[in-house]
Amino acid sequence: MKPGDIRTFKGGRGNAVVVAVGVWVKRQKKDGPLHIHLTGISGKHTTVANQQGSERYHRALFRDFRNLLIKNNCWLYGDEGSETETPGSP
């Protein structure tokens, strides 16, 4: 399996897609915000950040991908980003 691998299946009332996506976290600048990187969808690369006000900010996506990385021992930043765990938080 590598980023970009795609399979289709019948899901719900229509067709669905499973895609392999590469996910990793990186600090953009020293002491800067964390960005979770995603690659593998149509050869594109994007990021999601936990920095409110950033065009890349998305609390729920950051939280979910952060949890994925934590569960797979790929999170190197301790509690950083945990503010996204609280419902209603920015």
C-alpha to C-alpha distances, 11 to 1, 15, 40, nearest whole angstrom: 21, 6, 21
In this prediction, residue 12 carries a pLDDT of 72
Quick check: helix, strand or coil at residue 16?
Answer: strand
In this prediction, residue 89 carries a pLDDT of 61
pLDDT per residue as tens, the chain (90 positions): 888 898 888 877 768 888 999 999 999 788 888 999 999 988 899 999 998 899 999 999 999 999 999 999 999 999 999 999 887 665
How many whole angstroms separate alpha carbon 32 and alpha carbon 56? 14
